[in-house]
A = this chain, B = another copy of it.
Amino acid sequence: MTWVGREVRVRRYPAGPVAPGDFEVVEIEVPDPAPGQVLVRNTWTSVDPGLRLRLRPDAPAGYFAAFPLGQAMDGVMALGEVVESRAPGFAPGDIVSHAQGWREYAVVDPAAIQLGGVGTLTRLDVGDAEVSWFLGPLGGMGLTAYAGLHVVDALRGGETVWVSAAAGAVGSLVAQIAKLCGHRVIASAGSDEKVAWLREDLGVEAFNYRDGDLGAQLQDLAPEGIDVYFDSVGGDHLEAALDHLNRSGRVAMCGSISEYESESKGPRNLFLTVSKDLTLRGFRGSSNLHLREEMQDRLAAWLRSGELVHRESVFAGLESAPRALAEMIAGRTIGKTLVSIG
């Protein structure tokens, strides 16, 4: 049987803010799965800040290779249903996650290790969860949030934790996990709507970083200083954190979205790392796969009990994926940004 489906391709690397015109949506005839491969009909695909980094010809080292122009974008998380399997262990009807998103049909090789293991084809035991949660709290977002707190020894509670981009997919999980672990959490975001959500639905202290001097706002909320900073923003946020961290403070370095569309300048006060015995710990979720089961058990329990709130910004139809990315990077989505397909 021949399937026809659409896929998104990168037409050009944007010079400034990403725009839908940087992409094109192309209909193709889906190749038949070869022996050992699985054909998946995608139902959800992920929209992540890190994608922006891969829309640069100078994408940084590590696994962030640039997306090739004019091809389907490999290495983007998706969920779907197996429609044809020529691989042992997978059967039509299976719900799976994999890393060939931003397309309607994907031919996936289960033996290929994708995104450091996070994106390798995996059959999901959805149970009473929502499927889409496997792109959010029970998937890479949950692992990134949980691993970030783990690597800076912040799963034990009792400290003051500042979470930036706290209304985002990872940040909103970090803020809640940190609170559930017993920390005092200060959350920041870039709109009053987000701040209201953080305060009212997530129950954490929060401020709008656009409301005035970042350092002054931090100082007001945490005059005793902060112990841990979860950085998804970089730039002025990281500088403010270095200024306000207490001795032996730690930074979980997850990303620096403020710099993905411009040149990075680097914090001018990095010497405080020496004078205050600070640790800056870069990490990726995929480097912490050993935590995935523990994370899923704990987060699933918190989701069931209602202690963990999950919010999604859903865009309908594959063709909306580029717009979803642009909206997310511009700070106009809340929670996990997703595209529903088909």
Contacts and interface: CB of A to CB of B under 8 A. Distances in A.
A62 B255 CA distance: 27
Given A279-B281, A279-B282, A280-B279, A255 B270 contact: no
Contacts of A276: 61-62, 282
A253 B263 CA distance: 24
B270 A277 contact: no
Contacts of A282: 272-280
Nearest to A231: B274
Contact of A272 (B60, B259, B265, B272): B60
A165 to B, nearest CB: 14
A256 interface: yes
A71 interface: no
Interface in A46-71: 60-64
Contacts of A281: 273, 279-280
A268 B271 contact: no
Interface size class of A (residues with CB under 8 A): 35 or more
Q: Most chain-B Cβ atoms within 10 A of its Cβ — which of A234, A248, A270?
A: A270
Nearest to A239: B266
A206 interface: no
A6 interface: no
A283 B275 contact: no
A283 to B, nearest CB: 6
Given A264-B268, A264-B270, A268-B265, A275 B62 contact: yes
A60 B266 contact: no
Contact of A271 (B243, B247, B256, B278): B256
Given A266-B265, A266-B266, A282-B279, A274 B254 contact: yes
B247 A273 contact: no
A12 interface: no
Contacts of A265: 265-266, 268
A256 B276 CA distance: 14
A203 interface: no
Nearest to A280: B280
A310 interface: no
Interface string A228-264: 0000001000000001000110000111100100011
Contacts of A247: 62, 287
Nearest to A259: B271
B268 A267 contact: no
A284 interface: yes
12 contacts: A60-B271, A61-B243, A64-B275, A256-B271, A256-B274, A264-B271, A266-B269, A274-B282, A277-B282, A278-B282, A279-B279, A279-B282
Query: Nearest 8 pairs between A and B by C-beta?
Result: A266-B266, A62-B275, A273-B282, A280-B280, A274-B282, A266-B267, A278-B282, A277-B287
